[in-house]
């Protein structure tokens, strides 16, 4: 079996060679590369030139391999190295504070929304922010178009444009099989992760794109169209046209664990305005010379968009603080100084 279909290229070959010339790799028996196609409780499934094989977790590998990673296996087979990632899609762990790696080496994030339920701006912006954090492109897929009438579909497209007018959107029906070639054109030979809530139609779309029943699908609840969390592990599938798909379990809340720069990218317009504020530590609430509040007053910036930006920025900031406590202390001191200055001005 050739690894080309999984995205193997000269750069990955170079990474393997670089790793193997390292002293620490000299004791590895029959090293061979592979791409992680599935990660579950029992171990990893890895695509290699000899087919897809099960690898044990074995000795600790740092970073721990996730779906989409390129690894070097030994004879056992145990993974012995995770090759340097080109990107990592991560989010805040459900109900937790830490980071959860979702998939590695992803080029495009498909933000999958089912047209049998309302499209939510906040969810799109959050998922976009995860994509920005990974340096991946965002593409919105409005699926189940067979269930929506044309005016509903058009309204959903307008909602997406409200989240970001530059976002590309493909409206399709996985069940009806239309809009699929358009999406395949967008994907090309890249690695794509499907992100969306349970029941949105991710696995059904995977099956249609792959043109085979490779992923289990489930129904949705009558009334609110909530899904049943059918997909329980992340899994990578091959497209006949050369791309790679990563199906993921539905996520209820897209918690941000991202570099604050990723939020800045999602709200580039607000960030641009903020550079024009008189004070560079402007909080855009009541400071004089604030370009952000001026834009809101002039009707050039929706107050709602400013609120969403604040929420995501605070979330990314909190994640950054947890990830780097030293930087956090520095920031605390700065905030302390700012607070003192504000109090002093007030009492003057
Ligand atoms: N009418 C219609 N139904 C669809 C379409 N795509 C998916 N569905 C239905 O939506 C339900 C949920 O689909 P899944 O593909 O399992 O959803 P999922 O996003 O993978 O859900 P989780 O694995 O729980 O995260 C199933 O009943 C599908 O048959 C579509 O294009 N049209
Ligand atoms: Mg699924
Ligand atoms: Zn301001």
Buried b (16+ CB within 10 A) or exposed e, 226-254: ebeebbeebbbbbbeeebbbbbbbbbeeb
**pLDDT in the model for residue 116:** 95
Do residues 96 and 242 both lie within one domain? yes
Cβ distance 196 to 250 under 8 Å?
A: yes
The predicted structure's pLDDT at residue 219: 86
Q: Output the domain CATH number for residue 284.
A: 1.10.40.50
Report how far apart the first and last C-alpha atoms of the chain are (Å, whole number): 76
Same domain assignment for residues 103 and 237: yes
The CATH number of the domain holding residue 120 is 3.40.50.300
Q: What is the pLDDT of residue 22?
A: 87
Q: Which range marks the domain in which residue 289 is found?
A: 260-347
Q: How far away, in angstroms, is 205 Cα from ligand 2 center?
A: 9
DSSP bridge pairs for 87 = none
| Atom of ligand 1 lying closest to residue 112 CA | 19
Final residue of a structural domain among 192, 225, 247 = 247
Asked if the structure places residue 254 within a domain, the reply is no
Regarding whether 239 and 99 lie in a shared domain, the answer is: yes
Higher pLDDT among residues 328 and 280, named by residue? 280
pLDDT over threshold 80, residue 44: yes
- Does the residue 160 lie in any domain? yes
Least distant ligand from the CA of 175: 1
Quick check: is 55 in a domain?
yes
Of 57, 82, 107, which residue constitutes the final position of a domain? 82
Residues 45-81: tens digit of each pLDDT = 999 999 999 998 777 899 999 999 999 999 999 999 9
290 and 266 within one domain: yes
Alpha carbon nearest to ligand 1 atom 29, residue: 219
Q: In this model, does residue 252 exceed pLDDT 80?
A: yes
- Residue 207 alpha carbon, nearest atom of ligand 1: 15
> Do the domain assignments include residue 292?
yes
Domain-located, residue 253: no
pLDDT tier at 131 (50, 70, 90 boundaries)? very high
> Tens digits of per-residue pLDDT, 290-302?
999 999 999 999 9
Do 77 and 103 fall within a single domain? Answer: no
Same domain, 140 and 227: yes
**Mean of the pLDDT values across residues 105-123?**
96
Does 131 lie in the same domain as 105?
yes
Domain at 66, CATH number: 2.40.50.140
Where does ligand 1 bind, in terms of residues with CB under 6 Å?
143-144, 146-147, 173-175, 196, 198-204, 217-220, 227-231, 249-250
pLDDT digits (tens, 9 = 90+) for 213-231: 989 998 888 888 889 999 9
Same domain? 211 vs 147: yes
Atom of ligand 1 nearest to the CA of 248: 25
Residue 95 sits in the same domain as residue 30: no
319 near 257, Cβ under 8 Å? yes
For residue 255, tell me if it sits in a domain: no
At 185-217, the pLDDT tens digits run: 999 999 999 999 999 999 999 999 999 898 999
- Asked if 297 and 174 sit in the same domain, the reply is no
What's the domain count of the chain? 3
Tokens 């910036």, residue located: 301
């Amino acid at each position: 079996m050739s690894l080309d279909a999984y995205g193997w290229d000269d750069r990955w070959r170079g990474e393997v060679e670089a790793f193997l010339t390292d002293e620490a790799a000299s004791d590895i028996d029959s090293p061979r590369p592979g791409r992680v196609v599935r990660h579950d409780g029992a171990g990893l499934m890895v695509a290699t030139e000899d087919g897809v094989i099960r690898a044990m977790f074995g000795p600790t590998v740092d970073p721990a391999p996730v779906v989409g990673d390129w690894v070097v296996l030994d004879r056992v087979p145990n993974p012995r190295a995770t090759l340097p990632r080109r990107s990592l899609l991560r989010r805040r762990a459900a109900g937790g504070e830490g980071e959860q790696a979702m998939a590695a080496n992803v080029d495009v994030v498909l933000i999958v929304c089912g047209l049998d339920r309302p499209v939510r701006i906040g969810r799109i912006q959050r998922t976009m922010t995860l994509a920005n954090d990974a340096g991946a492109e965002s593409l919105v897929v409005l699926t189940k178009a067979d269930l929506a009438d044309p005016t509903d579909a058009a309204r959903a497209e307008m909602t997406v444009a409200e989240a970001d007018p530059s976002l590309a959107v493909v409206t399709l029906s996985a069940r009806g099989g239309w809009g699929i070639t358009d999406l395949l054109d967008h994907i090309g030979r890249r690695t794509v992760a499907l992100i969306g809530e349970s029941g949105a139609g991710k696995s059904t779309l995977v099956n249609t794109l792959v043109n085979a029943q490779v992923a289990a699908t489930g129904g949705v609840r009558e009334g609110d169209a909530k899904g049943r969390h059918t997909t329980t592990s992340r899994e990578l599938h091959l497209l006949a046209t050369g791309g790679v798909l990563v199906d993921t379990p539905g996520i209820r809340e897209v918690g941000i664990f991202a570099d604050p720069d990723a939020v800045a990218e999602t709200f580039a317009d607000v960030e641009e305005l903020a550079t024009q504020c008189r004070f560079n530590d402007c909080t855009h609430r009541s400071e004089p010379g604030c370009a952000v509040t001026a834009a809101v007053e002039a009707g050039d910036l929706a107050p709602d968009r400013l609120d969403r930006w604040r929420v995501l920025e605070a979330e990314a900031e909190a994640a950054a603080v947890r990830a780097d406590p030293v930087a956090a202390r520095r920031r605390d001191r700065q905030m302390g100084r700012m607070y003192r200055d504000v109090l002093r001005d007030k009492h003057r």
